[in-house]
Structure 1
């Protein structure tokens, strides 16, 4: 039996800013994340957001962030239970897309957030981003409402619940 890959997550640093800028320019990333400004040192210091570089076999290939959904008064997930986290991510190099890495590293990170006590993990892909929605579903998320416009753009809300994940992992 083959074991699933184990991904490593490390805090993004100022040394990663050029890599992140390059990844944000890739057409498959810019389509959903926009072609606007890249990340800055101030972004890396934002206390509400944990910004990470995801690697496989020491090869950095993705960006992932998780954040407190209660950090902004007008956040569309602010009604979730205390301790809930939101996530966003993208895969940078195009040769890493379509190989199952997205659902796998998302599920691994969500599991660690649940282990740290998060009762719910939320995400909010664009409603037209069918591949992201499928990846989140494979990682244990379910659509939890209708598409809506938010301060951060058009989204479809998706949630993964700690208790549900624990039930599914119990033999």
Structure 2
């Protein structure tokens, strides 16, 4: 097992790049290729220190390294002679949004509260359109992405998926094309739900509903926190059920849910109690079953995945 890797010294031009995110591609290369790698250390030296003065160069490099920690790119900085060692854990790296999010995160919205239907919860930001998350998967030589539902583009495939025997067993939403278009329109209009299409290499294969739990029907059944998020899903294309792809898309959508708002500490789900495959896979990713309970339409398991568990032990 690789516990630490020291890169060859990265020589930064003088003055160093202002954006510590410049270190992320190197970190992505290590952490993306080796799932057992826990930490990585980049050695930083200023190549023009002799020309511009060692003291000034050291100050600028130290400032850059400090910003790397404050920006969430690194965990700590140590010194080895004229070299700064910038160390990053796997958990820290995968919580940085910039390599993966392709739309502004929900975390940037101001915190305001609304009260509706006897519930008080944060006002949710408008949902982005288009692609919101994209990640290349070296093991599959493929790119997983998530994009917001486009009703005009996605109704036909959603209609086909919902009427398949395998999906209808758990969703119970067989219907006409018009009914399914109306369903998607309602989800797009609902401020607490973000309907998404999952793709491999831009080919749609699944539908996901990412929702804020505090104002959802699940809230009365547990102590819902302001930024808990839940997930409903269906996989419409059978070739996405293979072990490699299953791990990739399941892991990817959970990763997106935690990245979209850093205040999200828990992801919850309420699969039907007989959906044992879904429950077992959530457990493999670090979730646990809090309890079983009765919705009006089903007996369900309340599944909880905590942020720290996901990133520290089971994450991307």
Give how far 1:89 is off.
0.6
Tell me if structure 1 keeps the 8 A contact 2:205–2:235.
yes
The higher relative CO (CA closer than 8 Å, separation ≥ 6) is in: 1
Give the aligned partner of residue 265 of structure 2. 119
Gap change, CA 1:48 and 1:69, over 3 Å in 2? same
Give how far 1:74 is off.
6.2
User: Gaps (5+ residues) in structure 2?
Assistant: 1-32, 34-137
Give how far 1:103 is off.
3.6
Tell me if structure 1 keeps the 8 A contact 2:293–2:301.
yes
Match of 1:94 among 232, 238, 249: 238
Give the aligned partner of residue 75 of structure 1. 219
Give how far 1:18 is off.
1.6
Match of 2:148 among 2, 6, 11: 11
In 1, the alpha carbon distance for the partners of 2:253 and 2:156 equals 24
Match of 1:57 among 186, 198, 201: 201
Give how far 1:34 is off.
0.5
Gap change, CA 1:36 and 1:169, over 3 Å in 2? closer
Give the aligned partner of residue 279 of structure 2. 133
Give how far 1:152 is off.
5.2
Give how far 1:104 is off.
2.5
Match of 2:166 among 16, 24, 28: 28
In 2, the alpha carbon distance for the partners of 1:67 and 1:152 equals 19
Backbone CA RMSD of aligned residues = 2.3
Tell me if structure 2 keeps the 8 A contact 1:70–1:77.
no
Q: Is 2:190 aligned against 1:46?
A: yes
In 2, the alpha carbon distance for the partners of 1:77 and 1:167 equals 28
Give the aligned partner of residue 294 of structure 2. 149
Give the aligned partner of residue 167 of structure 1. 312
Gap change, CA 1:17 and 1:58, over 3 Å in 2? same
Larger Rg: 2
In 2, the alpha carbon distance for the partners of 1:169 and 1:95 equals 24
Give how far 1:151 is off.
3.8
SS at match of 1:35: coil
Gap change, CA 1:6 and 1:134, over 3 Å in 2? farther
Provide TM-score, normalisation by structure 1.
0.86
Tell me if structure 1 keeps the 8 A contact 2:210–2:232.
yes
Task: Give the length in aligned residue pairs.
Answer: 169
Tell me if structure 1 keeps the 8 A contact 2:212–2:230.
yes
Tell me if structure 2 keeps the 8 A contact 1:107–1:140.
no
Give how far 1:7 is off.
1.3
